[in-house]
Chains A and B, each alone.
With several copies, the nearest count.
Chain A
Amino acid sequence: MNKKKNAIRIGAVEFRNPVFLASGPAGYGLEYAGLIDLPSLGAVVTKTVSYSPRRGNPGRRLRETVSGLLNSVGLENVGAEEYFAEKLPPLYDAGVKPVVSLAAEDWEDYRKLLELTARQENVDVVELNLSCPNVERGGMAVGVDPDLVRRYVRLAKDILRGAAVLAKLTPNVQDIGLLALAAEEAGADGITAINTVLGMDIDTDSGKPVFHRIRAGLSGPAIMPVALEAVWRIRRRVEIPVIGVGGISSPLDAEKFFLAGATAIQIGTAIFYAPGLPGEILSALEERGIPAPINLPD
């Protein structure tokens, strides 16, 4: 078996294959070690970290919908310092390829976060989460504005000299292609799409919104057609690699994203109920190779 057959490249970084875990569901990575063969994956995007630790949102954080999941975790994380000291090194030790996900909060914290990241050895690829719907500042507020996307991506490229920078975008806009273009113009090495879709639920027993922050982010199989459309659209707007994420729940789904033009895919919600899925997708790719993208205009 040719080990390099399915290797891919984003910026200057090579990944052993194009099957990643999405940021968030898999935590810092090793929590899933008993359930998923992490070193076999192209990468594990770790849960987004911010400069300072974040407590995340109070109240309920999860709610199932029909074939979907609403979450309002709110970027709970240990903060970048503890992350780089405690969470990241064991991943390298375990032979897992990490992608570091960074939260864009306000400009100053963001700069400090980038500077801290730049001082780490080994961090050769980061994903900028410009799209979390579950926080007050930063997050989606950045990801909906092309100018802000440009500024945030540019600062990352400036400070993280040499590292590949992925911009993770939100679908809660009229044209995600515009945001992708802005990221590309600012030097992004790849686009990750999509983050969760804005949604909400109401508890009919209590007669109140389920979540403290009322809105939450929808993920899972329910949103797959939305994510696929986003990847198709972005692919036809930018030259840089697109990493597809959103509702992938079968090897056939993965195939669709490659056909739409994704260079790699990420699996999020599906690992909750089907931890075997990444392995199944890898086997399918091993057997048939990465499907060539469809060559059609928008």
Chain B
Amino acid sequence: MNRIKSLFRARVLRHQVLTPSCRLVVFDRPAGFPAASPGHFVSVRVSDSSVPLLRRPFSILDLTAGELILLVKIVGRGSALLAGANPGDGLEIGGPFGGTVFEPPARGKAVFVAGGTGLAPAVFAARTWNKGGLVEEIHLVHGASTRDELLTGFCEKDFSHVHQATLDGSAGFGGDAVSLLEKLVNDGVVPLDALFSCGPRGMIRALVERVGSRFAEHHASLEAVMACGVGACRGCTVPVRENGETLLRAVCSDGTVFPAGDIAWEEWED
């Protein structure tokens, strides 16, 4: 029996406000918290009541000897409670969870496309791979609605190139991250070896349909509503094509990373 302990109490050390809706929440790494890889996530009990009921999944943005860092965007009650936890507060955290992770690119060149908080696994990948000397060129394409929502100022140094897009054109490329990537590909600015994406489903689908095929490989980290986080409840399934069949795969334990081209978008209702 797998006896790796995966339930911890983690103390909030500090916050770093990044944008009006996003912040980094830095935890003391709990004793015994296992090593993790980019694409792994934790699930956080954000309330001691049953409102909200479920723990909330958040990708690991960094895991150092002493710290566990999450990037939290406030979208509802749960994320607001997490973002509002005070330094010193202890929260129950499960993890690291996830079956598949972002593997370093075979030829050392990677392009990340991150929508919103999809940035977290991208940063974790960049830091991990840079540290391991596993990557030589690593691009980040990051989109936000407006300049204020661009997540900057804490991770530029982790990437060799950062390409930004805002929907309203208030900073960087005017448009969405997918269109920006299209342009970068067309302009020959980014290497076409390996594409890694994380963010809203619509963004990933558009990537697959519009530019994914230009890359030798495309790996996407997906999100779904989760209950258990460990593959037990079968609540977080997505349709994935494997050997000519469409199977329902659990994002939490069969993912979070899937070959983007295999996702059966047309069967993925939500």
Contact = CB atoms under 8 A, between A and B. Distances in A.
Q: Is A in direct contact with B (CB under 8 Å) within the complex? A: yes
Interface of A: 24-28, 30-35, 38, 47, 55-56, 58-69, 71, 73, 76, 90, 93-96, 212, 220-222, 249, 269, 271-276
Contact of A272 (B54, B231, B237, B269): B54
A32 B232 contact: yes
9 contacts: A27-B234, A34-B4, A47-B232, A61-B225, A69-B54, A220-B53, A221-B53, A222-B50, A272-B233
Contacts of A26: 228, 232-233
A63 B269 contact: no
Contacts of B38: none
Which 6 residue pairs spanning A and B have beta carbons closest together?
A27-B232, A94-B1, A34-B6, A31-B232, A59-B269, A62-B235
A64 B6 contact: no
Given A27-B228, A76-B248, 4 more contacts: A31-B232, A60-B225, A62-B54, A67-B51
Q: Is the interface of A mostly helix, strand, loop or mixed?
A: loop
B103 to A, nearest CB: 23
B227 A62 contact: yes
A56 B249 CA distance: 11
Given A33-B3, A34-B230, A249-B50, A275 B270 contact: no
Nearest to A211: B269
B37 interface: no
B3 A34 contact: yes
B106 to A, nearest CB: 31
B55 A272 contact: yes
Contacts of B7: 34-35, 275-276
Contacts of B92: 276
A90 B1 contact: yes
Interface string B70-97: 0000000000000000000000101000
A242 to B, nearest CB: 25
A64 B5 CA distance: 27
Contact of B270 (A56, A60, A71, A96): A60
Contacts of B94: 35, 275
Contacts of B6: 34-35
Contacts of A69: 53-54, 227
